[in-house]
Amino acid sequence: MTVEPYTILYKEQLSAQVYLMRVKAPHIAQERQPGQFILLSIDQDYGERIPLTIADADLDEGSITIIFQTVGYTTKRLATLEQGDELAVLLGPLGQPTKIEKLGRVVCVGGGVGIAPLHPIAKSLKAAGNQVACILGARNKELLFMEDRFAAFADELIICTDDGSAGRKALVTAPLKELCQAAEKPQLVVAIGPPVMMKFCVETVRPYDVPVVVSLNTIMVDGTGMCGGCRVSVGGETKFVCVDGPEFDGLKVDFDGLIQRLQAYRPQERRQEEQHACRMQQQAAELEKKNV
Amino acid sequence: MSENNTAALQELARPQYEELKKLDFQLKPAQRAKIPLQEMPVQDAELRRKNTSEVALGYTPMQAVVEANRCLQCKNQPCVEGCPVRLPIRDFIKSIAVGDFAEAIRLIKVDSLLPAVCGRVCPQETQCQVKCTLAKVLKDPEQAVSIGRLERFVADWERNQGKTELPQCAPDSGKKVAVIGSGPAGITVAADCRRAGHAVTVFEAFHKFGGVMMYGIPEFRLPKAIVEAEVELLRRMGVQMLPNFLIGRSRKLQDLLDKDGYDAVFIGIGAGLPNFMGIEGENLIGVSSANEYLTRANLMRAYERGKAATPIAEAKRVAVLGGGNVAMDAARTALRLGAEEVYLIYRRSEKEMPARVEEIHHAREEGVQFHLLRNAKRVLGNEEGRVTALECLCYELGEPDASGRRSPVAVPGSEYVLPLDAVIVAIGNSSNPLIRQTTEGLEFNKWGNLVCDEDGRTSLPRVFAGGDIVLGAATVILAMGQGRKAAAAINKMLAEGGD
């Protein structure tokens, strides 16, 4: 048994803040199933470990695809790595895989960077014989990506933007509601995106007695059940997203608690960014001095 | 300044040492019993609570020789009985007593791979030292020969000499052993199986090896460089070390045997999932398990602010729930991360605390405030969901329970509120379900621990286990002891060619 370096084989900027990378990891590519995620870090000694969902895998190339938005300390730095660079840490696949079964009609809702993890799930649901309607939403056209990949298999594809720059000018909940009200209501809704979006998708679906699965992305350290930092209340019980999830019955998830916990280290993160900015400014100033 | 600095203690030892030399180290037992116990030099409490350097500084060679001469060299060696790996305690102490440190460490290394670790973190006072004849003669358990300090001394002496000997390995057997987890149990099995000539792969989920010795036990109690040196030794012996690899997910356990050609598997994955209290407000921001808090601080190096990308709760007032070694580690780490007030909340009295006496003593010296016979009732928070206070309830001791400890009984109406900004829960772990969920045919008990026979054999052929996943929460030395037995059984099985 060997593990090769986690080399970045390909990098592409999908939208203003969203990047795609294919990373060498044959052992993960081989074992991964839809719904699972990895943990990565970009510095062996001082890095932070962050979870990202596996968007795709290529067995021939021995690679996995990750898609991420530059929102935090690590994702911003990850985006500066180039093809040929190596990740310091890559652990996976983690979490329970999605239960893929033939149900009939399924609606898949993806918002923002949540479109990426939705892709393998929606594709597998289609392959399992379901009729799959996909709703993809983003703030504007620039933040949308992968529409063509969804178009390739979806029975119906609805694009929404907040500003109407692409598709319908609407929140994803509007078409979701329409699909739930249709004569043939869906047997399952899968919603992946920012917690607030998932919360409102769940509330939209709740009156129609349709099961709704959500995939949660929380703060994690080890990703193997050891720290409990990812815990969330589901139906009044504390669950660990890393080992019990990442997918849960959306109707039971305490989204308000989840949203609060995601803010846990916000003050430190803000300061970290400021310090980093300060150091960058310092360096820039020093460079300027040298050049003068 | 503390009296226990190295220079002062060295001066105390000097006249004793001169006297020993005069007698050419030939003493009668009664003379040995009169040699005063050598205290361990430690960092001053006021200084150390603000740094992460090691608290205990270790004996000087002179102190070690003097302390070793206190040993009565009993024929029946009761101390060895108390040691989970049955180190030749009397014999290595005899070597130290005449200044032959090289022979002492050689004797230890026959049975233990991690003397620098065990010398630091073993609960000697309840194992080898509790049996010490000298303590009985002097009618004071605290007067036992300082076996742990002597073990640590020779292990450090060897490392500082920079000539750690590579253990001999038998010629390649053509057999392969997979070790899951790189904590004390896994390291022991890896070394013992490698010495028998087998090819060994160690799978570790984290990016660094050492298990609890890296993520859990803090730098100030066990410097990481010591653990890294032990891991490096395994590498030099030819053990393959695979980080970032989670058996059960990155590869199924059964696949290791069926597809990857391993002839035996050892499961040493540790304790697993942190327990929480199940009280109101436990998911508020600022409440974390000790596992999370210590992992952020140790493994992810959050104590090196400005360097580490991993953040950690910045709290001025911290409560730690629990009374074990992990609780002490968390409380003392909180102080070092800048907390002004650290309360340790434990529902029984100090006598029932499972933590080592030395750790309790050090925590108190550093300013940890003990709230005994108290327990958390609920965590209170603000509108942002951050912890603001802990409501506690007072207890008194009732009748002894099944464990023989007097069980705490709540005092109705005794609630009080402690303003806080972080709560660390250190009340133990449940077993991690991952291997159970992904491996068919492995038998677990109702607490989720693996069921094994005396040699660590599980219900699956060719699969062995040891350490906390079998014992529940235990100690480094007990995990090593189990690893040693399992490795012997694996080596025997592979030598005989059966399963």
What is the rounded CA–CA span in Å between residue B464 and residue B192?
A: 14
In degrees and rounded to multiples of 5, residue A84 shows phi and psi of 100, -25
SS3 of B267, please?
Answer: strand
> B408, B429, B450 — which closes off a domain?
B429
Is B143 a domain residue? yes
CB contact under 8 A, B433 and A225: yes
Number of domains making up chain B: 3
Interface of A with B in 223-252 (CB under 8 A): 224-229, 231-233, 238, 240, 243
Same domain, B290 and B267: no
B358 φ/ψ angles, rounded to the nearest 5 degrees:
-65, -40
Q: What is the reported pLDDT for A270?
A: 76
Distance from CA of B1 to the nearest CA of A (A): 34
Residues of A in contact with B296 (CB under 8 A): 221
- Calpha distance B212→B230 (Å, rounded): 14
With residue B357 as reference, give the H or E element that holds it: helix B357-366
Residue A280 has pLDDT above 60, yes or no: no
For chains A and B, count residue pairs whose Cβ atoms are closer than 8 Å. 138
CB contact under 8 Å between A94 and B246, yes or no, is: yes
CA distance A163 to chain B (A): 30
How far off is chain B from A292, nearest CA to CA, in Å?
30
- Which of helix, strand or coil describes residue B200? strand
CB contacts, 8 Å: A97 with chain B: none
Which of residues A94, A117, A144 is at a domain's end?
A: A94
Q: What is the CATH number of the domain that holds B90?
A: 1.10.1060.10
Cβ atoms of A92 and A80 closer than 8 Å:
no
C-alpha distances out from residue A151 to A68, A217, B141, Å:
21, 25, 76
The pLDDT of residue A275: 67
A64 part of a folded domain:
yes
The contacts of residue A93 (CB under 8 Å, 6+ apart) are A28, A31, A32, A33, A36, A37, A38, A54, B249, B250
Quick one: B424 and B456 in the same domain?
no
Distance CA A81, CA A31 (A): 26
**Whether residue B375 is found in the same domain as residue B455:** no
Task: Say if residue A61 is in the same domain as residue A38.
Answer: yes
| Partners of residue B292 in chain A, C-beta under 8 Å | 221, 227-229
Could A28 and B311 be called an inter-chain contact, meaning their C-beta atoms sit closer than 8 Å? no
Q: Does B346 lie in the same domain as B442?
A: no
Three-state DSSP at A292 gives coil
A85 and A194 both lie in a single domain: no
What is the per-residue pLDDT for B234?
92
- The verdict on B246 and B382 lying in the same domain is no
Task: Please give, rounded to a whole number of angstroms, the shortest distance from the CA of A180 to a CA of chain B.
Answer: 33
Q: Is residue A278 part of a domain?
A: no
Decide if B295 and A261 are in contact by the 8 Å CB cutoff: no
Question: What is the CATH number for A124?
Answer: 3.40.50.80
Chain B environment of A226 (Cβ under 8 Å): 215, 272-274, 291, 295, 432
Closest partner CB to B307 (pick from A46, A92, A228): A46
The two counts, helices (H) then strands (E), for chain A are 9, 16
Name the strand (E) or helix (H) holding B11.
helix B6-22
In this structure, the answer to whether residues B255 and B306 fall within a common structural domain is no
Of A94, A126, A156, which marks where a domain is finished?
A94
Among chain A residues, the shortest Cα distance to B272 is held by: A226
Two tokens, residue A198: 């998932």
Asked if B146 and B128 count as a contact pair (C-beta separation under 8 A), the reply is no
| Interior angle at CA B148, CA B146 and CA B151, nearest 5 | 110
Average pLDDT (A13-27) is 93
CA distance A158 to B341: 56
CB contact under 8 A, B304 and A91: no
Among the three residues B394, B413, B429, which one is the final residue of a domain in this structure?
Answer: B429
Q: Is there a domain that residue B1 lies in?
A: no
Chain B touched by A257 (CB under 8 Å): yes
Interchain CB distance below 8 Å, B291 and A228:
yes
Is residue A154 a part of any domain in this protein?
yes
Domain for residue A283, yes or no?
no
As for how many domains chain A has, the answer is: 2
Do B22 and B81 lie in one domain? The reply is: yes
Given pLDDT bands bounded at 50, 70 and 90, which one contains residue A276?
low
Whether residue A287 lies inside any domain: the answer is no
Of A72, A94, A116, the last residue of a domain is A94
- The one-letter amino acid code at B482 reads Q
Residue type, B364: R
Q: Clarify whether residues B378 and B461 are in a common domain.
A: no
Instruction: Per residue of chain B (499 residues), give pLDDT as tens.
Output: 456 889 999 999 999 999 999 999 999 999 999 999 999 999 999 889 888 899 999 999 999 999 999 999 999 999 999 998 899 999 999 999 999 999 999 999 888 888 999 999 888 988 999 999 999 999 999 999 999 999 999 999 999 988 777 888 999 999 999 999 999 999 999 999 999 999 999 999 999 999 999 999 999 999 999 999 989 999 999 999 999 999 999 999 999 999 999 999 999 998 788 999 999 999 999 999 999 999 999 989 888 877 888 888 889 999 999 999 999 999 999 999 999 999 999 999 998 899 998 899 999 999 999 999 999 999 999 999 999 999 999 999 888 888 777 888 999 999 999 999 999 999 998 888 889 899 999 999 988 899 999 999 999 999 999 998 998 878 888 898 899 999 999 999 999 975 5
| Separation CA A128–CA A116 (nearest Å) | 20
pLDDT of residue A4: 81
A120 and A256 share one domain: yes
Mutate to test the interface with B, among A43, A64, A221 (most CBs of B within 10 A): A221
Q: Residue B1: what pLDDT?
A: 41
The CATH number covering residue B374 comes to 3.50.50.60
Residue B87 and residue B111 in contact, taking contact as beta carbons nearer than 8 Å:
yes
Residues A252 and A122 in one domain: yes
Same domain, A113 and A222: yes
Q: Is residue B168 part of a domain?
A: no
**Minimal Cα–Cα distance from A238 to chain B, Å?**
8
Q: What's the rounded mean pLDDT across residues A235-259?
A: 93
Tell which A residues from 165 to 184 touch B, by Cβ distance under 8 Å: none
Q: Is the dihedral of CA B217, B222, B223, B225 positive or negative?
A: negative
**B144 to chain A, minimum CA–CA distance in Å?**
37
- DSSP H or E segment with residue B47: helix B45-48
Domain check: are A235 and A131 in the same one? yes
Contacts of B479 (CB under 8 A, 6+ apart): B183, B184, B185, B188, B268, B466, B467, B468, B471
A241: distance to nearest CA of chain B, Å? 12
Whether A112 and A223 share a structural domain: yes
Preferred mutation among A226, A232, A253 to probe B, highest tally of B CBs within 10 A: A226
**Following DSSP, what letter does each residue of A151-202 receive, concatenated?**
HTT-SEEEEEESSSSSSEES-THHHHHHHHHSSS--SEEEEESSHHHHHHHH
Tell if the CB–CB gap between A48 and B384 is shorter than 8 Å.
no
pLDDT value of position B485: 92
B positions 396-435 inside 8 Å of A (CB) = 432-434
Residue A28 lies in a domain: yes
- What is the extent of the structural domain holding B116? 6-161
Q: Which of residues 92-151 of A touch B (CB under 8 A)?
A: 92-94
A287: number of Cβ within 10 Å: 10
Indicate the average pLDDT of chain A. 91
Touching check for B380 and chain A: CB below 8 Å?
no
Rounded distance, CA A165 to CA A161, Å? Answer: 6
A138 and A85 part of one domain: no
Same domain, B198 and B245: yes
Rounded to a whole number, what is the distance in angstroms from the first to the last CA of chain A? 55
**pLDDT for position A209:** 92
Range of the domain at A68: 6-94
- Are B241 and B235 in contact by the 8 Å Cβ rule? The answer is yes
Residues B151 and B195 reside in one and the same domain: no
Does A1 contact B at CB distance below 8 Å?
yes
Say if residue A119 is in the same domain as residue A67. no
Interface of A with B in 13-42 (CB under 8 A): 27-28, 31, 36, 41
pLDDT of residue B325: 93
What CATH number is associated with residue A48?
Answer: 2.40.30.10
Domain boundary among B410, B429, B448: B429
**Nearest CA-CA distance, residue B244 and chain A, Å:** 5
Judgement on whether residues B476 and B331 belong to the same structural domain of the protein: no
Residue B215 lies in a domain: yes
Residues A196 and A142 in one domain: yes
CB atoms within 10 A of CB B279: 17
User: β-pairing, A156-161 with A131-138?
Assistant: parallel
Q: How far does the CA of residue A2 sit from the closest CA of chain B (Å)?
A: 7
B292 touches chain A (CB under 8 A): yes
Q: Are residues B247 and B344 in the same domain?
A: no
In B260-289, the residues whose Cβ lies within 8 Å of chain A are 260, 272-274, 276, 278, 282-286, 288-289
State whether A19 and A116 are in the same domain.
Answer: no
How do residues A163-221 score in pLDDT, each as one tens digit?
A: 999 999 999 999 999 999 988 899 999 999 999 999 999 999 999 999 999 999 888 99
Asked, for residue A269, whether it belongs to a domain, the answer is no
Give the pair of three-digit tokens for residue B473.
């929460």
Q: Is residue A189 part of a domain?
A: yes
For residue A134, the one-letter residue type is C
Do A130 and A63 share a structural domain? no
Question: In this structure, is residue B167 part of a structural domain?
Answer: no
In this predicted structure, the answer to whether residue A292 has a pLDDT above a threshold of 60 is no
